Amino acid sequence: MRGFHPPYGSPHCPSSLCFVARRAYLSGMIPLPACFTDWFSARDWQLHPHQHDMLARADAPATLLIAPTGGGKTLAGFLPTLVDLAEGRHSGLHTLYISPLKALAADIKRNLTAPIEEMGLAIRVEDRTGDTSSHTKRRQRADPPHILLTTPESLALLVSYEDAPRIFAGLKRVVIDEIHALAESKRGDQLMLALSRLEALCPGLRRVGLSATVEDPPALARYLAHGAHPCDILLADPGPDPDISMLEVSEPPPWSGGGAAYAIPAVLDQIKRHKTTLIFHNTRAQAEIFFHNLWLANDDALPIAVHHGSLDRAQRSRIEAAMTRGELRAIVCTGSLDLGIDWGDVDLVIQVGAPKTVKRLVQRIGRANHRYNAPSKALLVPANRFEVVECLAALQAVRDHDLDGETRGPGPRDVLCQHLLIRACTGPFDADELFNEVTGVGAYAGLPRAEFDACLTFCATGGYALRAYDQWQRLLQRDDGQWQLRDPRSARLIRMNIGTIQDSDTLKVRMKRARGGRPLGEVEEAFAATLSPGDTFLIGGQIVRFESLREMVVEVSRDAGRKPKIATFMGTKFATSTQLSERILGLLAQPDWPDLPAGIRDWLHLQRRVSEMPKAGHLLIESFAHDGREQTCIYGFAGRNAQQTLGLLITKRMEELGLAPLGFVATDYATLIWGLEAVTDAAPLFDAASLRAGFESWLMGNAVMKRTFRASATIAGLIQRNSPSTRKSGRQATMSSDILYDTLAKYDPGHLLLEITRQEAMRGLVDFGRIEEMLARVDGRISHRRLARVSPLAAPLLLEAGRTPVKGAAEERLLAEETARLMQAAGLAG
Amino acid sequence: MDGYSFTLAGAELTALASGALYWDAPNLLCVSDLHLGKAERRARLGEPPLPPYETRDTLGRLESDLRQTGAGTVICLGDSFDDSAAAAALPEAEKLWISKLQAGRRWVWIEGNHDPGPVDLGGTHMTELPVPPLVFRHIARSGQSGEVSGHYHPKVRLALRGRSLSRPAFLLDSNRVILPAYGTYTGGLFSHDATLTSLMRPDALAILTGPMVHATPMPRRAILRL
């Protein structure tokens, strides 16, 4: 089990209960029942101080425990439950454990069961996730275990049943694991709303949150607390500072790209010198490519593997099992290993590519070396030259303990809409009571009644534009003022669509065999659409050849011979955080950079000589001709998503001004636009008022905005992903949500879902908030440099992948060219 | 008005970018497969709901084509309604809109496989309509000539320098023209499907619809994409 520690110097004990031996500590503490002390002393194990503290606070309404990975958090969370249940007087559900990962719930079950049996305690522990059989689920509803391990989605479903009051009767404690991760997403908002229901069913429920290191513990405590009740914060000993540096590679990194192939020999050398190395990447595609290159260079045939969220679950489990057994020397991975089970023997973490946020870097570093008092060891590998600067800034931030984090806005209303529908599934409700419940949730504390009522109206009618359609008329108000489902049968559909996770539209990949070959994983529909038979791509570290598409399954064969086309996964594209961007600008402002390698220093000095350095209070714009095109480079330092949105907005402005833009590319620090006409005066392009107006009008028709809408519309129940009769493919869902979006934009621009979409667009993929932030920071101070040729900082952008063509007349021109060519070829021209 | 003009059995026709067919001499506009009420029907049958308003969207485009052509005769070439119940269930406002469009014109509903019976919405109801030298019917019959039909919702996919693009299209040869679906929610059958390649002559053309029309030899082989 995670967080149980072996005595110093003892061999590693994977996935079993172990405790740090702090012999002097136990005296004066809350006494443990005899069966516990006997069991511990038989193993020569004792508790961490914070584990004792948690026991002492067993009756506090809410406690947030912040402990480093491997700090014994989970035991700290469960100890009061085990002690309470050991008395054997409780019947029914006692403690709910909620984790973001199904695998974690299963793992905790395994590892709790062992000591419970060894201590001879009559405690029933069961997990309940999407993988649990329907038979077991039914039995669990009829006869709940003492400890139920589940996920936010499974909990929301449980809460929706009519018999929820009976299922949860007697519930005393809720333990939320990895709450720092949940709090960053709508899954957390859904969870906290579900807890507000439980609070109403079981007043006096105690809450425990288990968190990794975060930048603002009081904010997280407010998030966890129920209403005005207090939430104490317990900080466990964070342990020694990590041993972290940049990997020294003789060859300099390339100008652009994210592969870091140049560092393969040096990384391999590090793998050989350590027991187990985790190699983190920011995207799945980069992880695949890196693993491929690592494998080609792996002359000693070290056991290495690749692990990411697009791989088939069975394959991931095999890798996890091999890792737990200590059989692997290195795992190339993505955020899929950010959370979860402690892998015993990791003694080195390598982060490939700039870490984008300091907090995630620190949490990843924490995956190494789970001995309580030993420093974690980590190496950063910048993938290109600019990332060397970014990595240096991140290193300084880690040393300064300066964590970053986005403050989350008020509780999202799409999640609230889903909660209202879930509440209606349980039975009739009173709007005033439910409003009080909802505003007891930290994130919704400031929710105005009018907004709550708007959500209720939306759930009841679909909103003004949709009121004529039965399928969105879901609630009705009874004569006694209570709200209920208009048609009780709709509860089934609502339950089928519970959840806030937006899986991108993916297709399964299988080996082609007569009766369905081995599943390999998934690729995005958009990527699969670009494949022709014979094309090769990487998945799960092997090169496969696209054969055919059968019933929404991509069939492939093995093809080791050729150079692969690259598998692309949208995944999450992390943007460099505001705080880290500020640090980078601060670093660039230095007169010299003694900490940077000579090549990078020369590059930055040259930029200063031929143009100027981007500065915090200015917006630097360079324009120059290159490659027969007029280029404009905008150094906004607003993060990848905002720079992308800026590209969309500015090219639209340029089109209006007759500058004929052809396309653009964005990185975390700049946007490069190319077109037919030179930009001579940049200021009009950046007029804040017209950029904002552009955001309102132009972006409304944008695909990224539509994607944002689809996510919220799905959560709020306007679009159903699942239905009893058929399962729509992602593409069909896209079709109809786009039409719905256009319809609402045209007939009902004030519709709640459009309002929510606009709010969502301030962050995430559109990230207009960062553009606002940049405009405020710059406050009209634009330095526009006309250069004779490409500048040193702009040069890497010319090589950057992921170019976005400016659509519009261009598509029709291409089509006209192609059809004319075909007519000519057929002898039909004229 | 953007369109592709051609001659079928001596009749001068124009394939409009909207997917409607205009015949200048009798001042006749023909549209096919409107599938009005599709969202309503799907919801009624318990299929995953589609957003509504497709009826208004379709009628809005039809109104714009009528305004631009000033057509005196309208032929709806079958599958005008997703089923007969969908026709009856149209909201009052949409029924009124249809009446408004019908005012002062001859209006013919050709019957389709989705809407085999007459509808209570004004206009004439017919199984097919000969307007020499042409004949208008829902489903093409092999061996006919001068035939205008719909039913298949033909569409075409072309590969353009690294991306592929699919558009609803007219298919035409010396015997017939098959109209693309005019309705907002309509899937389609690619021109390379055996049904269409066997129906159309080897020298058939496809007229892609969209922002403007593009004529191309009818693609007969699949570009293997999703």
Testing the interface with B: which of A461, A466, A469 to mutate, by most B Cβ within 10 A? A469
pLDDT (0 to 100) of residue A806:
65
Q: Say if the Cβ atoms of A815 and B214 lie within 8 Å.
A: yes
Is residue A458 within 8 A of residue A417, CB to CB? The reply is yes
Question: A67: which residues sit within 8 A by CB, 6+ positions away?
Answer: A3, A50, A73, A76, A210, A211, A212, A235, A236, A238
Of residues A602 and A708, the one with the higher pLDDT is A602
Q: Is residue A317 part of a domain?
A: yes
* Shortest distance, CA A504 to any CA of chain B (angstroms): 16
- d(C-alpha A586, C-alpha A584), whole Å: 5
3-state class percentages of chain A: helix first, strand second, coil last, to nearest 5: 45, 15, 40
| B54 contact residues in A (CB cutoff 8 A) | 739
- d(C-alpha A702, C-alpha A301), whole Å: 48
Q: Is residue B126 part of a domain?
A: yes
- d(C-alpha A60, C-alpha A54), whole Å: 9
Q: Say if the Cβ atoms of B52 and A726 lie within 8 Å.
A: no
pLDDT (0 to 100) of residue B165:
77
CA angle B169, B175, B177 (to 5 degrees): 20
Is residue A541 within 8 A of residue A305, CB to CB? The reply is yes
Query: Do A285 and A158 fall within a single domain?
Result: no
Give the CATH number of the domain where residue B115 resides: 3.60.21
pLDDT (0 to 100) of residue A686:
87
Is residue A619 within 8 A of residue A776, CB to CB? The reply is no
| A468 contact residues in B (CB cutoff 8 A) | 52, 91
String of DSSP letters for A256-290? S-S--GGGHHHHHHHHHHSSEEEEE-SSHHHHHHH
Give the CATH number of the domain where residue A294 resides: 3.40.50.300
* Shortest distance, CA A487 to any CA of chain B (angstroms): 14
Mean pLDDT of A741-754: 87
Query: Do A552 and A672 fall within a single domain?
Result: no
Mean pLDDT of A615-636: 92
pLDDT (0 to 100) of residue B115:
84
Give yes or no for residue A803 having a pLDDT over 50.
yes
Query: Do A353 and A310 fall within a single domain?
Result: yes
- Find where tokens 């004929």 sit: A660
Mean pLDDT of B175-199: 89
Query: Do A71 and A90 fall within a single domain?
Result: yes
pLDDT (0 to 100) of residue A461:
92
Is residue B158 within 8 A of residue B165, CB to CB? The reply is yes
Distance, CA of B5 to chain centre: 17
* Shortest distance, CA A722 to any CA of chain B (angstroms): 8
pLDDT (0 to 100) of residue A830:
52
| A528 contact residues in B (CB cutoff 8 A) | 226
Nearest CA in chain A to B157: A815
pLDDT (0 to 100) of residue A802:
66
Query: Do A487 and A418 fall within a single domain?
Result: yes
Confidence of residue A21 (pLDDT cuts 50, 70, 90): very low
Q: Chain A within 8 Å of B48 (Cβ-Cβ)?
A: yes
Give yes or no for residue A19 having a pLDDT over 50.
no
Is residue B205 within 8 A of residue B215, CB to CB? The reply is yes
Per-residue pLDDT tens for A325-345?
A: 888 999 998 877 777 666 667
Provide the H-helix boundaries in chain B: 38-44, 54-69, 84-88, 92-102, 194-199
With residue A655 as reference, give the H or E element that holds it: helix A640-656
Q: Say if the Cβ atoms of A814 and B49 lie within 8 Å.
A: no
pLDDT (0 to 100) of residue A2:
35
Report the mean per-residue pLDDT for chain B.
88
Is residue A310 within 8 A of residue A554, CB to CB? The reply is no
Is residue A519 within 8 A of residue A323, CB to CB? The reply is no
Cα Rg, chain A, nearest whole Å = 28
Residues 511-550 of A with CB under 8 A from B: 525, 528-530, 532-533, 548-549
Of residues A809 and A284, the one with the higher pLDDT is A284
Q: Is residue A817 part of a domain?
A: no
pLDDT (0 to 100) of residue B198:
93
3-class SS of residue A645: helix
* Shortest distance, CA B99 to any CA of chain A (angstroms): 21
pTM over 0.90: no
Mean pLDDT of A704-717: 87
Q: Is residue A200 part of a domain?
A: yes
Is residue B207 within 8 A of residue B215, CB to CB? The reply is yes
Nearest CA in chain A to B39: A469
Query: How much of chain B, in percent, has pLDDT values that exceed 70?
Result: 90
Q: Is residue A603 part of a domain?
A: yes
Distance, CA of A680 to chain centre: 41
- d(C-alpha A808, C-alpha A815), whole Å: 12
Q: Is residue B131 part of a domain?
A: yes
Give yes or no for residue A525 having a pLDDT over 70.
no
Which regions of chain B does DSSP assign to beta strands (E)? 3-8, 11-16, 21-23, 28-31, 73-76, 106-110, 124-126, 128-131, 134-137, 147-149, 154-160, 163-172, 176-178, 189-190, 205-208, 214-217
Nearest CA in chain A to B184: A739
- d(C-alpha A93, C-alpha A176), whole Å: 16
Q: Is residue A252 part of a domain?
A: yes
Query: Do A645 and A519 fall within a single domain?
Result: no
Give yes or no for residue B35 having a pLDDT over 50.
yes
Question: B121: which residues sit within 8 A by CB, 6+ positions away?
Answer: B87, B90, B95, B98, B99, B109
Chain A and chain B share a number of CB contacts under 8 A equal to: 83
Give yes or no for residue A515 having a pLDDT over 80.
no
Query: Do A604 and A695 fall within a single domain?
Result: yes
3-class SS of residue A330: strand
Q: Is residue B226 part of a domain?
A: no
pLDDT (0 to 100) of residue B10:
94
Classify each residue of A182-207 as buried b or exposed e, where b means 16 or more C-beta atoms within 10 Å of its C-beta.
Answer: bbebbbbbbbbbbbbbbbebbeebbb
Cα Rg, chain B, nearest whole Å = 17
Report the mean per-residue pLDDT for chain A.
84
Q: Is residue A199 part of a domain?
A: yes
Per-residue pLDDT tens for A144-177?
A: 999 999 999 999 999 999 999 999 999 999 999 9
Per-residue pLDDT tens for A95-141?
A: 999 998 877 787 788 888 888 999 999 999 999 988 888 999 999 99
Which residue among A723, A724, A814 sits closest to B160, beta carbon to beta carbon? Answer: A814
| Structure token pair of residue A35 | 């069966």
Confidence of residue B56 (pLDDT cuts 50, 70, 90): confident
pLDDT (0 to 100) of residue A176:
96
* Shortest distance, CA A724 to any CA of chain B (angstroms): 8
Per-residue pLDDT tens for A761-787?
A: 888 778 888 998 998 888 889 999 999
Question: B115: which residues sit within 8 A by CB, 6+ positions away?
Answer: B78, B79, B80, B81, B82, B83, B84, B87, B109
String of DSSP letters for B64-84? HHHHHH--SEEEE-S--BSSH
Give yes or no for residue A271 having a pLDDT over 80.
yes
Per-residue pLDDT tens for A286-326?
A: 888 899 889 889 999 999 999 887 788 788 888 888 887 88
Give yes or no for residue A261 having a pLDDT over 90.
no
| Structure token pair of residue A577 | 């955080």
Nearest CA in chain B to A821: B216
Query: How much of chain A, in percent, has pLDDT values that exceed 70?
Result: 87
Per-residue pLDDT tens for A536-584?
A: 787 877 788 888 776 667 888 887 666 666 655 544 467 899 999 999 9
Q: Is residue B225 part of a domain?
A: no
With residue A51 as reference, give the H or E element that holds it: helix A49-56
Q: Say if the Cβ atoms of B52 and A469 lie within 8 Å.
A: yes
- The range of the structural domain enclosing residue A419 comes to 413-496
Report how far apart the first and last C-alpha atoms of chain A are (Å, whole number): 76
- The range of the structural domain enclosing residue B54 comes to 3-217
Q: Say if the Cβ atoms of A828 and B217 lie within 8 Å.
A: yes
* Shortest distance, CA B43 to any CA of chain A (angstroms): 7
Q: Chain B within 8 Å of A703 (Cβ-Cβ)?
A: no
Query: Do A129 and A51 fall within a single domain?
Result: yes
| Structure token pair of residue A319 | 């890798």
Q: Chain B within 8 Å of A811 (Cβ-Cβ)?
A: yes
Domain count, chain B: 1
* Shortest distance, CA A721 to any CA of chain B (angstroms): 8
pLDDT (0 to 100) of residue A11:
33
Q: Say if the Cβ atoms of B211 and A812 lie within 8 Å.
A: yes
Strands B205-208, B189-190: pairing kind: unpaired
Q: Is residue B224 part of a domain?
A: no
Query: Do A661 and A513 fall within a single domain?
Result: no
Is residue A411 within 8 A of residue A444, CB to CB? The reply is yes
- d(C-alpha A318, C-alpha B212), whole Å: 54
Q: Is residue B8 part of a domain?
A: yes
Q: Is residue A13 part of a domain?
A: no
CB-CB neighbours of A564 under 10 Å: 19
Provide the H-helix boundaries in A124-204: 134-142, 152-159, 164-167, 179-182, 186-201
With residue A804 as reference, give the H or E element that holds it: strand A804-805
Q: Is residue A250 part of a domain?
A: yes
Query: Do A248 and A327 fall within a single domain?
Result: yes
Q: Alpha-carbon torsion A674, A676, A681, A684, what sign?
A: negative
Question: A551: which residues sit within 8 A by CB, 6+ positions away?
Answer: none
Instruction: Name the nearest CA neighbour of B109 among B95, B130, B96, B123.
Output: B123
Of residues B113 and B163, the one with the higher pLDDT is B113
Question: A516: which residues sit within 8 A by CB, 6+ positions away?
Answer: A510
Q: Chain B within 8 Å of A740 (Cβ-Cβ)?
A: yes
Q: How many DSSP H helices and E strands does chain A contain?
A: 30, 26
How far is CA B211 from each of CA B3, B217, B223, rounded to the nearest angstrom? 11, 19, 23
Mean pLDDT of B158-182: 86
Mean pLDDT of A220-240: 90
Q: Alpha-carbon torsion A256, A262, A266, A267, what sign?
A: positive
Is residue A798 within 8 A of residue A622, CB to CB? The reply is no
Q: Is residue B11 part of a domain?
A: yes
Cross-strand bridge partners of residue A556:
A511, A546
DSSP state of A375: P
Instruction: Name the nearest CA neighbour of A724 among B45, B41, B40.
Output: B45
Domain count, chain A: 5
Mean pLDDT of A422-428: 96
* Shortest distance, CA A601 to any CA of chain B (angstroms): 39
- d(C-alpha A180, C-alpha A73), whole Å: 13
Tell me the three-class secondary structure of A399-464, residue by residue: HCCCCCCCCCCCCCHHHHHHHHHHHHHHCCECHHHHHHHHHCEHHHCCCCHHHHHHHHHHHHHCCH
Query: Do A671 and A802 fall within a single domain?
Result: yes
Query: Do A387 and A520 fall within a single domain?
Result: no
Which residue among B39, B46, B160 sits closest to A815, beta carbon to beta carbon? Answer: B160
Nearest CA in chain B to A731: B226
Residues 6-45 of B with CB under 8 A from A: 39-40, 43
Question: A124: which residues sit within 8 A by CB, 6+ positions away?
Answer: A145, A146, A147
Q: Say if the Cβ atoms of A739 and B185 lie within 8 Å.
A: yes
Is residue A360 within 8 A of residue A338, CB to CB? The reply is yes
Of residues A308 and A398, the one with the higher pLDDT is A398
pLDDT (0 to 100) of residue B226:
32
CA torsion, ordered B152, B158, B163, B165, to nearest 10 deg: -30
